[in-house]
Amino acid sequence: MFADKAVIYIRSGKGGDGHVSFRREKYVPNGGPDGGDGGKGGDVIFEVDAGLNTLADFRHKGKYYAENGQEGGKRNCHGSNGADIIVKVPEGTLLKEAQSGQIIADMSGENKRIVVLQGGRGGLGNQHFATSTMQAPKYAQPGKPAQELCIQLELKVIADVGLVGFPNVGKSTLLSRVTNARPKIANYHFTTLSPNLGVVDLDGAKGFVIADIPGLIEGASEGVGLGHEFLRHIERTKVMIHMVDAASTEGRDPIEDIYAINKELENYNADISKRPQVIALNKIDALYIPEGGENPIERVRKEFEPQGYRIFPISAVTGKGLKELLYEVNQMVDDIGSEPVTFEQEYFPEFSGEDLSDIRVEKAEEGIFTVEGERIEKMLGYTNLDSEKGFLFFQRFLKEQGILEQLEQAGIQEGDTVRVCELEFDYYQ
């Protein structure tokens, strides 16, 4: 059974406590403190495993714990560090904070390994607290606590091209003919119960990866049928091949089908519906046009070519028209570029439950206000402000932490400058 969603609980290791002890030897009865430091707790690390293609393993194990650091020992012995735990996931997996649904990491592209939760720092032994006035401290620092988090794993397959359409229009047949994929094929709805990936190799061209997305039906974006379970897998695609049954073998109208599927895409994610799309009119080998009847291919051309769509009559069974379709799609992918579609980080475990009271808001001079603090500097280090999502996260951070309210209390006006570390922004309500 294909699994592309799972929820797991993860916890990093607690830092080991510092040790309280004193040097006691035969000729040194009153030696000084010699308590060692505690070891660091283990990290929780996520890593891409090229051998995985589903999240099925997480159905059998839902909790992952890193090892705690060990307590320090006598004679300045440092406690051993806790072992990290490495959680392996397939490429294309999104890690989300389970409650908010915000993205922690996108395990795709260059992002093959990430530390999601850091282990607690080990506490200092009592040797560090000796002073001239307190030469025998009986205090050691406890280790820092572990971090814990519920994570939703969501697999979005990595493909350049998505193949969409109603059930039983020939998508699996096309995939089996033009790639090395071997999907199951039968003449009934929802034969495909998992996204199938295949590589299209073309003479004189780079080729592309194509994903056959299980058949959609009207209402899929609202949870009707099974198609909604797989809509997430077209979120990374750059181009879509929209396949319809030109021969109407099941009595459906091709034009109505195209509008219906595009409506589902728009309802699910408006950005997806705006991506380049070609229309593949399949089953032309079974096309029958009665005398005096209208050619359905021409009907589709008249309806959609003025809207900017390229129309390709094809037969996935005989192979007719496939070469023209594939080379056109390959060119479209090349024009867009090879950079994978990735998702920006929205949730930062480092700040979860963290005290942000060190943030200071001040009026530096007329029209210029400063925001300073170690934690906001740390947050900026994790945020890509050049991206729209990263900047929106930064704005949300300022609002949720009360920084915008503090700026208003300090008398900021529209058009004034806000200086955060080395960055400057204009303030607008």
Tokens of residue 219, six digits: 């209402």
Q: Please tell me the predicted confidence (pLDDT) of residue 194.
A: 66
Strongest mean pLDDT among 26-35, 50-59, 205-214, 321-330:
321-330
The band of 186, judged by pLDDT with boundaries at 50, 70 and 90, is very low
- Read off the pLDDT of residues 209-249 as tens digits, 9 standing for 90 and up: 888 877 565 554 555 445 556 677 888 888 999 999 888 87
Q: Please tell me the predicted confidence (pLDDT) of residue 188.
A: 44
The band of 181, judged by pLDDT with boundaries at 50, 70 and 90, is low
> Above 50 in pLDDT, residue 37?
yes
Greater model confidence, 358 or 114: 114
> Above 90 in pLDDT, residue 367?
no
Q: Please tell me the predicted confidence (pLDDT) of residue 191.
A: 45
| Whether pTM exceeds 0.85 | no
Q: Please tell me the predicted confidence (pLDDT) of residue 357.
A: 57
Q: Please tell me the predicted confidence (pLDDT) of residue 128.
A: 85
Distance CA 371, CA 384 (A): 18
Do the beta carbons of residue 391 and residue 344 sit within 8 Å?
Answer: no
Q: Please tell me the predicted confidence (pLDDT) of residue 11.
A: 95
Question: What DSSP character marks residue 126?
Answer: G
Q: Please tell me the predicted confidence (pLDDT) of residue 89.
A: 93
Four-point Cα dihedral 179, 182, 188, 194, nearest 10: -90
* Cα separation values, 119 from 38, 45, 302, Å: 12, 10, 62
The band of 137, judged by pLDDT with boundaries at 50, 70 and 90, is confident
* Cα separation values, 363 from 301, 368, 370, 413, 421, Å: 63, 6, 6, 12, 14
Q: What are phi and psi of 421, to 5 degrees?
A: 55, -120
Look at 183-192, 254-263, 273-282 and tell me which has the smallest mean pLDDT: 183-192
CB neighbour class for 376 (10 Å; exposed up to 12, middle 13-18, buried from 19): buried
Sign of the alpha-carbon dihedral angle for 308, 312, 316, 322: negative
> What number is the average pLDDT over the span 26-31?
69
- Spatial CB neighbours of 300, under 8 Å, sequence gap ≥ 6: 244, 246, 254, 255, 258, 279, 281, 311
> What number is the average pLDDT over the span 63-80?
93
> Above 80 in pLDDT, residue 387?
no
Q: Please tell me the predicted confidence (pLDDT) of residue 177.
A: 83
Q: Please tell me the predicted confidence (pLDDT) of residue 109.
A: 82
> Above 70 in pLDDT, residue 415?
yes
> What number is the average pLDDT over the span 323-328?
92
The band of 289, judged by pLDDT with boundaries at 50, 70 and 90, is confident
Mean of the per-residue pLDDT values of the chain: 82
